[in-house]
Amino acid sequence: MSLSLYTVGLLLLQRPFDQLRRGMRDILGDGGILKEVVQPGEGPHVPRNASLIMHYSGYLEYCSQPFETTKNFKYPPMLKLGREVTLPGMELGVLTMQKGEFSRFLFQPSYAYGAIGCPPMIPASAVVLFEIHVIDFLDSGQVDDFYEMSPNAASFSMLLEVVGTLRGFGNLCFAKSRYDNAKGLYKQALVLLGNRETQDEAEKERIRTALLLLYLNLSLTELRLDSPHKALKYSNKALEIDSANTKALYRSGQVRPGFCSFFTPDRLTKKQKKKKPCTV
């Protein structure tokens, strides 16, 4: 059925954000945040204390270019809710999202930049559109709680859980080639373990096991960051805990020229006894 010229004219006069609203749902019930799921995610929703790896772009009405975007970053940023993510609409909107989800949001001024705006980019009382892609996230609430305690106030089991969370998020960053972020998280975990005072032999052994994993992680991360001296330092620390650890021996071989081409643990151990630490 053909449309009348009057109807076509009305459609052309509709504002872009008005057209978007028709396909969105009101997530709070007050019209302040409208959402359209473009690509569904999976798993649980983002928790309140999450640290996220995400992309986002913000747009004004009638503007095809974003006033803010992370799309030009080499890697998506890692952001902490309530710390790096402070725009009310974005923080509340992200809580409705899942891993892998890509959604659009319309934020009313009270959930965005307010009546004043953010001159000169954001005009007063502006409604803004945000496109958000949650790539991955981790609940870091327990880590936050831990840091608020005195060094030995937390239980040993909580310490290990927090260290595991930091290492897990470090592994996540490493897998996404965010090596500097991964390094920072691994080193945070090292500091926590180093600050723990204990006379219990079983606890000491579990700390050594946790340290071994972190040293191996840091050794590989430093290799990715083209820091062979630091990579060797951490592989040697791992070998101090477990002198026969294959990964640590191999990391040392990766740093020392010519080792990897004919690597075997036994041969590498013999070479380590003969050679001084690499000075490349």
> What pLDDT score was predicted for residue 256?
67
In angstroms, the CA 113 to CA 126 distance is: 7
pLDDT values of the chain reduced to their tens digit, one per residue, 280 residues: 455 555 545 445 578 899 899 999 999 999 999 999 999 999 999 998 888 889 999 999 999 899 999 988 877 888 889 888 889 999 999 999 999 999 999 999 999 999 999 999 999 999 999 999 999 888 877 787 787 776 667 788 888 988 998 898 899 889 888 899 899 999 999 999 988 888 889 999 999 999 999 999 999 999 999 999 999 999 999 999 999 999 999 888 877 654 443 334 444 444 444 444 333 3
- Name the nearest CA neighbour of 53 among 223, 218, 171: 171
Question: What is the amino acid identity at position 176?
Answer: K
**Predicted pLDDT of residue 112:** 96
Q: How many CA atoms lie within 13 A of 171 on its CB side?
A: 12
- Using an 8 Å Cβ cutoff, are 108 and 33 in contact? yes
16: preceding bond cis by omega (within 30 degrees):
no
Scanning 63-140, the segments in alpha helix (DSSP H) are: 88-94
| pLDDT given for residue 252 in this prediction | 84
Determine how many CB atoms are found less than 10 A away from the CB of residue 265: 14
Query: Tell me, what's the pLDDT at 49?
Result: 84
Q: Which domains does the chain have, with CATH numbers?
A: 15-139 (3.10.50.40), 141-272 (1.25.40.10)
Round to whole Å and give the CA distance between 73 and 55. Answer: 9
* Cβ(76)–Cβ(53) below 8 Å: yes
CA atoms of 47 and 137, how far apart (whole Å) = 9
For residue 271, what pLDDT is reported?
43
Listed in order, strand segments (DSSP E) in the chain are 25-26, 33-39, 42-45, 50-60, 68-69, 78-80, 98-99, 102-107, 128-139
Cα–Cα distance for residue pair 138/141, rounded to 1 Å: 9
Are 88 and 111 in contact, with CB atoms under 8 Å apart? yes
